[in-house]
Chain A
Amino acid sequence: MLPAENGGSDATQDALNSAPLTGTFCREFLLTNQNPDGGWGYHPTSPSGVEATAWALLGLMSGGRVWLPSQPCDRACDWLLHAQLGDGAWPAFPGQPQGCWTTSLASWALQAHGGSVQAVERGLHWVLNAWPAEGTLWWRLRQAVGRSAVVRQDSSLRGWSWTPGTASWVEPTAYALLLLRNLPAEMLTSQMKKRRRLAERMLYNRMCPSGGWNSGNPLVYGVAGVPRVGPTSWALLALIDHAERAENRISLDWLEQTFGEIRGAASLALAHRCLTAYGRQAPPLAPMLGSLYARNRFFENTLAVAWAALALSVNENRSSETSSGALTS
């Protein structure tokens, strides 16, 4: 089959037909698509989920307090509070019995919004006691007889898993670290600081040999893993307090070199935010996002829109009073 002649327009044409995207546009999108229950789904009209709601709330707050409409944010906070489980965790969706990585995001969003101190503390307590499954005796036995020669990683360095009973991965570890980083200093206990240091070491251990991170293992069968934009951006944002480290620098170099090849709005927004957070130069984001929006409307993905709002807000509203996190600080 040959490509359809009229199937899709060229990127250049899309760019010509599109206007630069603004943070205000993204926030209006989020406001328009808030569900009646106060949460957000991954797409407009989808059932509300914890991750989408947390990011939408952070995205809305990126506009600063002058812009911030309090009622939608308050409703979002209420939705999150109702979705919290008895043990302090948040599931992916209400009705699911088990907490997961979304706990870091929900705690972070509530913390950024202010208030809900008790809910944040309960979420934080769950996060700090959520240990990934590797490093246990069972895991070490498996490693000893199986994959230890195949996968290179130090399993004594543990971060956070996506779901309970599974291994540490880059992104959930980064989310938890970003939550800890955004807590007021007085909330940070020595246990939290210790856990944070361990997770940071885990992230550095999982870095691809040539810099950057992926969603898998950095080295399998002796072959170096290929870094990906999303995990690299999250890891770098989580490790921003170590900006001077060589690992950060080579990973940023990789991200900078890769930036022009990014074809998705979510990755583009994340990478741009990451580069600017480190003071690196990046091409103007608004026209690039405008072009992508003209093509696919971001597939109406709430996360992509929220991340775009966060990234765009840096240039539009440097004096933001909100504390929507390390993504903007």
Chain B
Amino acid sequence: MSFATRSLMLPFARPASRVAILRARSYDGDISKLLWEALREFDLPVQGKKVLLKPNFVEPDAEGVINTHPAVVGAARECFLRLGAASVLVAEGPGHERDTEAIVETIRLRDYLGPLNNLLVDLNLDEVHPVTLPTRASKLQRLYLPKTVLEADFVVSLPKLKTHHWVGATLSLKNMFGIVPGCCYGWPKNILHWAGITPSILDINSAVRPDFALVDGIVGMEGNGPIQGSPKASGVLILGDDPVAVDATAARVMDLDPERIEYLVKAGALLGHVKTDKIRQLGESIASVRTPFAMLPAFRKLQIRNPRP
């Protein structure tokens, strides 16, 4: 059983999480090989299972800065199939753009995955079912969520390493906003903003707990993310069996203190580990790959280099 499929536990009762940092300087390298060697270390229970990859596809962007790069999506799919998964779907419900086809064609997803017809699920237009939210962090209490997600055996959040102009950083937990279906809540899913971004992140990730997270930090985004920032070549992939720990590690790589990011602090109490002594670090050290991200003035207080406010 992976970390995330355990029920909600207080931090002291949880086992340590495992997070690996891999150096990957460009998307042209053999990402599959790199990822395969790392994933084997995790002994993931995916044999014969339905795996769902949830990338971060936001808008048509040919530059490869806004969206999870298709090379990473393709490599992840290849690896999970190699690990024995019965099926590996790619599923996303973009938050702003109704035309998901326009996004995947612009980023040339098919070049990395082959024909997409039976492989890609637009979560914005999927069949939905009501789900009572286990945590009551927001006033939402209940959300309609896509059948494809609810029926998946193993969910992998595949975000991009980016800053975010409302919450500081968007990583694997925030990426799960994309499972909330536009067909019920619109484009953008404004109900989540009104319920509060931080409590919504907690509620969504408690309802559908990603079993694994893989952050595309080969080229991330700094400054005014998640759409209008600048490319930031960080040269890393960050992955692990506890999405909270993965996000905390990714934040540290960005030179952000995860214990100053509100949603990570709260997720650390309910969903996973934020503190370093509870995260078993594999691969590269954080210090060796740390790449400080430029932040909007409102979020400079999150930077490790700046004293705690």
Query: Which chain B residue has the least Cβ–Cβ distance from A162?
Result: B186
Complex partner residue of A163 from B108, B185, B224, B227, CB under 8 angstroms:
B185
Report yes or no: B190 in contact with A162, Cβ–Cβ below 8 A. yes
Query: Which chain A residue has the least Cβ–Cβ distance from B183?
Result: A92
Interface residue? A133 (CB, 8 A) = yes
A230 to B101 alpha-carbon distance, docked (Å): 13
Interface residue? A43 (CB, 8 A) = yes
**For residue B10, which residues in chain A have a CB less than 8 angstroms away from its CB?**
none
Interface residue? A304 (CB, 8 A) = yes
A95 to B128 alpha-carbon distance, docked (Å): 11
Report yes or no: B144 in contact with A263, Cβ–Cβ below 8 A. no
Interface residue? A30 (CB, 8 A) = no
A41 to B191 alpha-carbon distance, docked (Å): 23
Interface residue? B214 (CB, 8 A) = no
Please count the residue pairs between chain A and chain B whose beta carbons lie under 8 angstroms apart in the complex.
160
Interface residue? B20 (CB, 8 A) = no
**For residue B185, which residues in chain A have a CB less than 8 angstroms away from its CB?**
162-163
Q: What is the CB-to-nearest-CB distance from B95 to chain A, in angstroms, rounded to a whole number?
A: 8
Range of interface residues on B (Cβ < 8 Å): 35 or more
Report yes or no: B191 in contact with A297, Cβ–Cβ below 8 A. no
**For residue B74, which residues in chain A have a CB less than 8 angstroms away from its CB?**
1, 4
Query: Which chain B residue has the least Cβ–Cβ distance from A301?
Result: B125
- The DSSP consensus for interface residues of chain A is loop
A1-19: which have CB < 8 Å to B?
1-4, 6-8
A223 to B296 alpha-carbon distance, docked (Å): 12
**For residue B5, which residues in chain A have a CB less than 8 angstroms away from its CB?**
none
Complex partner residue of A162 from B31, B71, B111, B187, CB under 8 angstroms:
B187
We find that the number of chain A residues with CB closer than 8 angstroms to chain B is 58
Report yes or no: B191 in contact with A163, Cβ–Cβ below 8 A. yes
Interface residue? A93 (CB, 8 A) = yes
**For residue A6, which residues in chain B have a CB less than 8 angstroms away from its CB?**
114
Report yes or no: A169 in contact with B188, Cβ–Cβ below 8 A. yes
Interface residue? A216 (CB, 8 A) = yes
Query: Which chain A residue has the least Cβ–Cβ distance from B124?
Result: A42
Complex partner residue of B186 from A150, A163, A221, A301, CB under 8 angstroms:
A163
Interface residue? B117 (CB, 8 A) = yes
Report yes or no: A1 in contact with B183, Cβ–Cβ below 8 A. no
**For residue B42, which residues in chain A have a CB less than 8 angstroms away from its CB?**
none
B83-139: which have CB < 8 Å to A?
96-103, 105-106, 108, 110-117, 120, 122, 125-128
**For residue B193, which residues in chain A have a CB less than 8 angstroms away from its CB?**
166
A168-196: which have CB < 8 Å to B?
169, 171-172
In the A-B complex, the 4 residue pairs with the smallest Cβ-Cβ separation, listed nearest first, are A162-B186, A264-B102, A8-B110, A263-B105
Which B residues are closer than 8 A to A by beta carbons?
A: 28, 30-32, 59-60, 71-72, 74-75, 78, 96-103, 105-106, 108, 110-117, 120, 122, 125-128, 144, 165, 183-188, 190-191, 193-194, 224, 227-228, 296, 298
A-B contact pairs, 30 of them (CB 8 A): A1-B74, A2-B28, A2-B71, A8-B108, A8-B110, A8-B114, A42-B126, A46-B126, A93-B184, A96-B144, A100-B184, A101-B186, A166-B190, A167-B190, A169-B187, A216-B227, A220-B224, A226-B228, A263-B102, A264-B60, A264-B99, A264-B105, A267-B99, A292-B101, A296-B101, A297-B117, A299-B122, A301-B101, A301-B125, A303-B125
